[in-house]
Amino acid sequence: MTYTDTDETATDESPAAPEEVEQTDSELGRHLLTARGFHWIYGTSGDPYALTLRAESDDPVVLARRIRESETPLWQSAAGAWVTGRHGVAAEVLADPRLSLRHADLPGPQRHVFSDAWSNPLLCHIVPLDRAFLHASGADHARWERSAAPVLGAAAADGHRKSAERVHQETADGLGAAFDLMADYSRPVATEAAAALLGVPDAQRTRFARACLALGVALDAALCPQPLAVTRRLTEAIEDVRALVGELVAARRAEPGDDLLSTVLSAGSADSAGSRAQDALAVGVLTAAVGVEFTAGLINNALEALLAHPRQWALLGESPELAAGAVEETLRHAPPVRLESRIAAEDLTLAGQDIPAGAQVVVHVGAANRDPEAFLAPDHFDLTRPPGPGHLSLSGPHTALFGAFARLQAETAVRTLRERHPRLAPADGVQRRMRSPVLGGVLRCALTTSA
């Protein structure tokens, strides 16, 4: 597995100055480089979480195992966070309402530029992503999930199945003898499905796809400093997709339809129209910022795992109904979101450890999903795995919101590609982005259809 950094970073390595609302390239570059430097410093001690945040050439599966096999179930990394890779503790953390995505005691955006970088570096929110609604409160996320459920919930999946099959079949039939799984299949079908959910007009589809591509690093950027140019594209894409979704929300308020935005606008009749419009904006932006990349990653990870295990690929051909099992096993074995970060809203005790208010607690979902205390032969990919204690891949507010949507698209993908291209095979190794500890983002995944 190789990792490629696609942009040059800033060259000014001085400590970051206090952050203003609008940062110059020099100010933002210093901030990103400072945070990056601390990850490197902490990683020199061999700290597996710090090395995970570096997201360079280290094997992420090995680092995940080291995180899980630490002497204590919940331990404090040199990077400041309390970390766990144990399934039981991870499930407890993810279900605890006292742990949130944001600092409750800090008003405004979650901006943590080091005022005293060398004695108190804060690495829990590298860049502010409130404009993308990624650090909203638990109550907000719960409300958005409820209001979107008629379209995004599990019960609504069957209603989208035929349209999903059409898009996947058309895309699969258009593939050549050699293609890139992410660029030519996974991301296009995920983007098209998201655009259809939101009712993006045909004339705006290219704009929407371009924004989704730049937004694909958002979850990584929250914990791992991205190159300056990538960060700038991200913030610009956030504003562009906010503008685009805002236009769609205004249109749906004037003339409702049966799309996701109209559904959210019609939810919660006791709320003000302005509040419902803000909720619709949030759900629409999150669809672009999380839903597309999460879905594309799940499709890619499922195909990568199946093709790496030829017997499982053959079994899927014999029993196409196992597509759902293949996706569920992928969520456990190779989750598209590996890390979940939380902030303690109050002093609390977890797994015997006293956690102060404001401390960061991180669940390594990938490690917890391979905990031998919870799963038999956890490193083995088995699409016929019987029901067990359950993976944790859909236990975060972002992944829960898009879980049913991503499952449907991934199930349709593996079934369609197995049917249309039974001789599908890897043409080369998967190339992943550097600085992608959360998503393990794929740059290239070359396949052939006639091996």
pLDDT tens for 310-360 read 999 999 999 999 999 999 999 999 999 999 999 999 999 999 999 999 999
pLDDT at 2 over 90: no
CA 23 to chain centroid? 26
For the segment 440-450, the average pLDDT, to the nearest whole number, is 93
CA 281 to chain centroid? 19
**What order do you get walking across the sheet with 2-4 strand by strand?**
2-4, 431-433, 442-444
Q: Which tokens belong to 47?
A: 């700290």
In DSSP terms, 107 is beta-bridged to none
> What pLDDT score was predicted for residue 6?
40
Q: Tell me how far apart the alpha carbons of residues 19 and 17 are, in angstroms, rounded to a whole number.
A: 6
Q: Tell me how far apart the alpha carbons of residues 374 and 167 are, in angstroms, rounded to a whole number.
A: 37
Longest dimension (CA), the chain: 61
Q: How many CB atoms lie within 10 A of CB 236?
A: 12
pLDDT tens for 162-217 read 999 999 999 999 999 999 999 999 999 999 999 999 999 999 999 999 999 999 99
Whole-number mean pLDDT of the chain?
Answer: 90
pLDDT tens for 60-115 read 999 999 999 999 999 999 999 999 999 999 999 999 999 999 887 666 665 555 45
In residues, how long is the chain?
Answer: 451
Q: Where are the domains of the chain?
A: 2-448
- Report pTM: 0.92
> What pLDDT score was predicted for residue 450?
79
> What pLDDT score was predicted for residue 389?
77
pLDDT tens for 232-261 read 999 999 999 999 999 999 999 999 999 999
Which residues, other chains included, contact 196 with Cβ-Cβ below 8 Å and sequence gap of 6+?
163, 167
Q: Which tokens belong to 270?
A: 């006791």
In DSSP terms, 20 is beta-bridged to none
In DSSP terms, 82 is beta-bridged to 76, 361
DSSP of 220-248, one letter per residue? HHHHSPPPHHHHHHHHHHHHHHHHHHHHH
Angle (CA) 119 114 9, round 5°: 115
Q: Tell me how far apart the alpha carbons of residues 282 and 56 are, in angstroms, rounded to a whole number.
A: 32
The DSSP secondary-structure symbol of 106 reads: S
pLDDT at 368 over 90: yes
Domain formed by 2-448, architecture: Orthogonal Bundle (1.10)
